[in-house]
Structure 1
């Protein structure tokens, strides 16, 4: 926080200072707020306009915007760089705040991130929809870690139908083994053999149906699940064959099969993830940050010359 050398004089207000139970307060330099010419904040804190802004008896300015997201606006004004937490869910709202404050460079940095997040959310039929806030994510993580876990293994297989004198040529063909379930459980069981390219950058408490294995041996997948304490509880299969009038020696029978595995133990990775949360909170507090609820008003302390 900046040391207040001089506070701007309090002007007479034409309307009372708004009250809000969840107001957030920030302290910064006047040069930081006016570091981007032609921005909304530059206009607000221009020497000709600052006297017209509402303030309380402690010389704190009031701006009716999103108090939680303003910290990222302020960080950008300090060094002109964008730094967001991993899996930050409020990129679109932060983009709207950047547009309101007329910060063109920040808008350019956020636009690709919002586009990427929107494209991932559009695949809701394959993956669950992102939660609206980080706080709800943490609550769900704590609840999920106490429950048992399911993993579904699916594959499309085929057999080549050949003449009887070539029976030894009938081999099982597996094109790809798909993995569905909670990401933390899947990663613990399959580790580096899990291909995440179809559903990247997902937090461990989320679910997916778009992962697949880098190998194509079913028994290898079963061994890994068994070693991790999973047991098969159900399976199903559907099959199709070529039409009779289309039958040829090279035609194949194909099927899609799913195996559902269940473990009654919470994953070690999930327990580790939960155990790290208090440590993360301590680091944040030690760095001078506090965890706030999202507020709709901000109080800016008197600026420094």
Structure 2
């Protein structure tokens, strides 16, 4: 069965619709896209002709919006409920997407959650009066929710440095060119968000794994901070190194590859 657009004889939408949202491909039912009356997607797919909507090179309906955050828009359209992962950092951006797609109830829920989180994170006015004995220890802190997603993320980088002929000379380090990220798609996107460059592996679904993503910056500390904020802990690390020149009369160029394994 397909939906016929009023006033456009012979113009129909298929029951299964393919979307390209900011480079991310989604496949869903037409009933899902039109689940909320007066929303932008409802208007596009019930009041417009398929010929009126922009398409990509493969014929998918194209929307120039945040492809990562659209998964939550689609989840809301399916269930009329909002479910976000723990440590989700993109509430304000998701609220902006909800406003664009004309989903006022979703936008309201995001605004309320954002306000409640701000209140919970506010420090008490008398925090400075607490003595060391009354300051909560790490063992007293609320543990991570058992229902949160667990898994592993591996962060790797390749670096090189030159050691001069003079033993006393300092090693000359070269800037790390790229930090790679390996793990489950959904988990890596939850942690690194829009700092994750997906151009080398753009079309894999969230339930699959990748070893081709890399970060848009090259400071390991930034990656470690994000992982720590998301509740990850380092489980292991390994490193290898090779020397490209063994001639004692020449500078030695060393190349190393290091991986850090984090788990939650």
Same fold (TM over 0.5): no
TM-score w.r.t. length of structure 1: 0.40
Larger relative CO (CA 8 A, sep 6+): 1 or 2?
1
Judging by fraction of residues, say which structure has more strand.
2
- The structure carrying a bigger helix percent of its residues is 1
